[in-house]
Amino acid sequence: MSKDHVLVVGGSGMLKGVVKYFMEQGNIVTVVGRNRKKLQMLEQELQGTPGVLNSVAVDYTNTDEFIQEISRSITQYGPIRTSVNWIHSNAPHAPKALMDLQHTTSPGSTYLRLLGSAYGNPEKKSNDRDFMKKAYPNINYCETILGFVLESQSSRWLTHQEICQGVIEAIESQADRKIIGTVSPWSKRP
């Protein structure tokens, strides 16, 4: 059974199933969220699951504190093998700061960034992908876009189960870029 250190930023929300997946493989999973109660509930839900849950209550909009806390976890549990990052746009500096940290402490690791469906809008010009790939050649930078589901007469957003399943597939395939559901036709989004 592997004992890698993995990180799930936003793991106490819709990504709980991703935390469970990593735990079931016996990994040490560092989970970031602000609310301690939500993190404690996750610990209770995963009691008895193999692996170690390392809950970190920190606000990622405070970049320095966020990076300090993740550095502390790396010191305690070792370099990160994979990070899954659902970071809202109110923290524009956090993704790059975490890439910097992974670059120096965890060469060869994977950084999976989740993006909202707006990133699938064909009219939205560019994002950070080219920059990240060039600036951090020793990190496997991957993006997964959370799309929507087209139904016969309408469309809907993804369920948590669909999101976690898609993220797990992206991790297992190491897909450079993946869309869960669809983003086209863009005009049909919910």
Ligand X SMILES: NC(=O)c1ccc[n+]([C@@H]2O[C@H](COP(=O)([O-])OP(=O)(O)OC[C@H]3O[C@@H](n4cnc5c(N)ncnc54)[C@H](OP(=O)(O)O)[C@@H]3O)[C@@H](O)[C@H]2O)c1
Residue 112-151 contact track with ligand X, rule CB under 6 A, x = bound: ----xx----------------------------xxx---
For helices 36-45 and 16-24, what crossing angle results, to 10°? 40
**Smallest distance from the beta carbon of 18 to ligand X, in angstroms?**
10
Residue 63-102 contact track with ligand X, rule CB under 6 A, x = bound: -----------------------x-x--------------
User: Of the candidates 97, 96, 181, which has an alpha carbon nearest to the alpha carbon of residue 145?
Assistant: 181
Q: Amino acid letter at 166? A: G
> What φ, ψ does residue 116 adopt, rounded to 5°?
-70, 170
Largest Cα–Cα separation, the chain: 52
Q: Amino acid letter at 9? A: V
Tell me whether residue 1 or residue 122 sits nearer to ligand X (CB atom). Answer: 122
Residue 17, interface with ligand X (CB under 6 A)?
no
**Smallest distance from the beta carbon of 138 to ligand X, in angstroms?**
26
Residue 12, interface with ligand X (CB under 6 A)?
yes
User: Of the candidates 14, 6, 5, which has an alpha carbon nearest to the alpha carbon of residue 33?
Assistant: 14
Residue 61, interface with ligand X (CB under 6 A)?
yes
Name which position in 6, 7, 10, 81 contacts ligand X (CB under 6 A): 10
